[in-house]
Structure 1
Amino acid sequence: MHKHNLFSAPDHGHSLGEDLPRMAALAQRRRLLSWLAAGPALVLAGCGGGGDDGGTSSTTTTTSSTTASGGTGSGSSSSASDTSGSSSGSCTRYTTETNGPYPADGTNSSSGSTSDVLTASGVVRSDIRASFISSTTVAQGVLLTLTLTLVNTNASCAPLSGYAIYVWHCDRAGLYSLYTVPAESYLRGVQVTDANGQVTFTTIFPACYAGRWPHIHMEVFSSLSTATTGRNALLVSQLALPSAACSAVYSGASGYSASVSNFSQITLASDNVFGDNSSTELAAMTPSMSGSVSAGYASAATVGLAV
C-alpha cells in the first residue's frame, strides 16, 4: 500500500478526483511550514523573565519613580499599584543594606546586654505602634500603613508565602525603642507573608534624623521559626520614604519639627546607605504612597528576593 507524506511532493498523472485531495494537502503543508517558521518568535514573545538578570525580572509589581538626588516626585499623591502577586509589571532584587546600630535582632548590644526582640512574646503583630514588652506606650505620629509583597526574582516574580518579615524604624523624634528610648519596644514587629506574598503593618511615619534619608528597616526570613536572630536573615535591607510625603509630614504634622531641618540637609545621593544604589534599585526600594497628613498614608512596595 502506497503511503503519502504531507511533506513530500504530490504524485502526478492521476485523475482530478485523486488530485484534489493532494492539492488540499499541499496547501495544508504550506500553512504548517509558515507557522513553523514563525513559531520560535511566537514562543519567545510569550515567555516572561525567569532568571535574576542583574537583579530585575519581568513579571509582577509595585514600583515608583525615583531619582538619586531627590526621591519620588509625587510621593504624597501617587497611588499604590497592584500588589497581589499577579503578573503585571517587573520586580527588582533588593540590595543588601546595613541593619544599622538599632536592630534589636540579637546581633548587637544595648545598655550592655544583647537585645533580641525577635524572641519576645508578642512580636508577631500587624499594628506595631504600641510597646509590648515592659510598657504599653503608643508611639505618636502620622498614621502609616505599609504593605510589602515578597516575590522571587528567580521565578518570574512569583509571590513567596510563609516567609517572615521583621520591620523597625525610629519614632517621630528620631529615636529607636530598646536603644535611645530603652524602656519602649514600639515600632517593631514581625508578620508572615500570606498566599500572595503580602504582609501589612500599621505604624507611624518615621522622622528624619541628622545624616540619614528617612527610612524603614527590614529583615526577611525563610519562616517564622527561623526569625530568631538577624544572622538567619535571607535579606537585610531598607525602604527609602518618598520625598514628597516626607516634606508634607515634616512641615504639616506636630512632633516632627526637628525633621524639617534634617531633611533639608540630606538627599538620596548623599545618604550613606542609598547613595550608591542604581535608579532602578531606588525606584523599587521607595514605596508608592497615597494619602495626607490628616488622614494618614497608605504605602506599598514589592520586595524582590532571589531564592
Structure 2
Amino acid sequence: MSGHHDHAHSLADDLKVIETMMARRRALKWFAGAGTAAFVAGCGGSDGSSSSVSVVSSGTAAATPTPTATATATPTPTATATSSSTACIADPTETAGPYPGDGTNSASGSTSNVLTVNGIVRSDIRSSFISTSTVATGTLLTLTLTLVNVNATCAPLAGYAVYLWHCDRQGNYSLYTAAAESYLRGVQVTDANGQVTFTTIFPGCYDGRWPHMHFEVFSSQSNALSGRYAILTSQLAMPAAVASTVYADTTTYPSSTANLARVSLTNDNVFADNTTAQIAQQTPSFSGSVAAGYTATALIGIAR
C-alpha cells in the first residue's frame, strides 16, 4: 500500500509462518502460542516488526492468550436455521492477526488491551474513544451478525458478546498503524435473536490480504471485557462485487483498487483453504449503495 512499505515486508513474514501451519488448525495453534511481541508478526494491516503501537496497559488481562473454542474448523451441517432457509455450519477458526488489541499480544513490553477500557461496549464503532474523538471516514456500513448454535438446530445464542475490529479506509488499524486512534473496534451483546449490530465503514483493502473484518465471540460480556476466554476467533470476507464498487472511489479509498487486483479468495493466506460452504457463511450479504450506505448480514455458527 502506498506509504506503507512495511505492509509487504510484514506480509512476507506472515506467509512464511502461515505456510508452515496445518490446514484448519494452523491459526488455532499459532494464536494459542502467541502472547508476546512475537505475535505482532501475524497477519493483517501493515503487520511488521516496526509497527507503532498505542498501548492500553491492563494488569488484569496481562498477556494471557485467549483460549479458543473446541469446535472443529470442519463444517458441521445441521438442521435448517430457525430464521433462515439455509443450514448453518460452524465458522472456522482464523488468526486474530497482530492487531487484535485484546490483551493477547504486546509491544515494547506492554500489553495492548482495548477490551478493558470504558467505552468499548458500543454499536457505532466509527469514532475513537480513548485519547481522541476522530471519526473514521469511508462508505457507511451497518452490519448485523446473528450467532447460532450449530449443535441445536441453529438456535440463536442470546447473551453472547462479539468483539469486532477492522482496518480503516487506508488499511491501517487503530492502536497500531493508526497509533493515536481507537476507532473501528467495539463490543456488542447478542439479543434474544442472537443478533448484534455495528455501525461502521467498509474496510479498505491493504496489500496482500482480501478485504476482511476480524471478530471474536465470548460467552458473556464479562468474559469479553476481561480480554480473555474467546470461544471463537474468525474473520468475515467482504464480497468482491461490493468491494470493487466501493473502491472505485479512489479519493476515499486511494490504494484499495490496486491492492484488490493483486489478491483473490483463492490465494488469500487466511481464506484460501476454506471450503465453499465456509466462505459462503463468512461472506456477509449486502444491500444498499455507496451513496446511501450499505446494510449487511452474516450468520456466525458456534458449536456449543
User: Which bin holds the TM-score, normalised by the shorter protein?
Assistant: 0.7 to 0.9
Q: Which runs of 4+ in 1 moved over 4 A?
A: none
RMSD, aligned CA: 1.7
For CA contacts below 8 A with separation 6 or more, give which structure has more relative contact order: 1
For the residues of structure 2 that align with 1:141 and 1:110, how far apart are their CA atoms?
29
Provide closer, same or farther for how the CA distance between residues 111 and 208 of structure 1 changes in structure 2, counting only shifts above 3 A. Answer: farther
Whether contact under 8 Å (1:142, 1:253) holds in the other structure is no
For the residues of structure 2 that align with 1:266 and 1:87, how far apart are their CA atoms?
31
Deviation at 1:110, TM superposition (A): 3.8
Deviation at 1:125, TM superposition (A): 0.3
Whether contact under 8 Å (2:75, 2:278) holds in the other structure is no
For the residues of structure 2 that align with 1:111 and 1:251, how far apart are their CA atoms?
38
Whether contact under 8 Å (2:145, 2:299) holds in the other structure is yes
Match of 1:59 in 2: 80
1:107-256 matched pairs, under 5 angstroms: 107-228=104-225, 231-252=228-249, 254-256=251-253
Match of 2:10 in 1: none
1:177-233 per-residue CA deviation (whole Å, 9 max, x = no partner) reads: 000111100000000000000000000000000000000000000000111355410
Give the aligned residue type for 1:211: G
Whether contact under 8 Å (1:94, 1:305) holds in the other structure is yes
Deviation at 1:109, TM superposition (A): 1.6
For the residues of structure 1 that align with 2:251 and 2:141, how far apart are their CA atoms?
15
1:103 aligns with 2:100: yes
Whether contact under 8 Å (1:110, 1:178) holds in the other structure is no
For the residues of structure 1 that align with 2:174 and 2:226, how far apart are their CA atoms?
17
For the residues of structure 1 that align with 2:225 and 2:117, how far apart are their CA atoms?
9
For the residues of structure 2 that align with 1:54 and 1:120, how far apart are their CA atoms?
35
For the residues of structure 1 that align with 2:145 and 2:139, how far apart are their CA atoms?
19
Q: Secondary structure at the match of 2:281?
A: helix
Provide closer, same or farther for how the CA distance between residues 54 and 137 of structure 1 changes in structure 2, counting only shifts above 3 A. Answer: closer
Q: Secondary structure at the match of 2:248?
A: helix
Give the aligned residue type for 1:226: N
For the residues of structure 1 that align with 2:179 and 2:83, how far apart are their CA atoms?
42
For the residues of structure 1 that align with 2:246 and 2:131, how far apart are their CA atoms?
30
Identity within the alignment, %: 63
Whether contact under 8 Å (1:104, 1:117) holds in the other structure is yes
Larger Rg: 1
Whether contact under 8 Å (1:116, 1:229) holds in the other structure is no
Deviation at 1:253, TM superposition (A): 5.5
1:299 aligns with 2:303: no
Structure 2, gaps ≥5 residues long: 1-71
Match of 2:14 in 1: none
For the residues of structure 1 that align with 2:142 and 2:79, how far apart are their CA atoms?
27
For the residues of structure 1 that align with 2:216 and 2:140, how far apart are their CA atoms?
22
For the residues of structure 2 that align with 1:109 and 1:244, how far apart are their CA atoms?
36
For the residues of structure 2 that align with 1:234 and 1:56, how far apart are their CA atoms?
19
For the residues of structure 1 that align with 2:91 and 2:192, how far apart are their CA atoms?
21
Query: How many pairs are equivalent?
Result: 233
Give the aligned residue type for 1:299: A
Whether contact under 8 Å (1:252, 1:293) holds in the other structure is no
Give the aligned residue type for 1:101: P
For the residues of structure 1 that align with 2:173 and 2:109, how far apart are their CA atoms?
16
Structure 1, gaps ≥5 residues long: 1-51, 61-84
| TM-score, length of structure 2 as denominator length | 0.74
Whether contact under 8 Å (1:286, 1:301) holds in the other structure is yes
| TM-score, length of structure 1 as denominator length | 0.73
Which of 264, 280, 286 is residue 261 of structure 2 equivalent to?
264
Q: Secondary structure at the match of 1:108?
A: strand
Whether contact under 8 Å (1:56, 1:92) holds in the other structure is yes
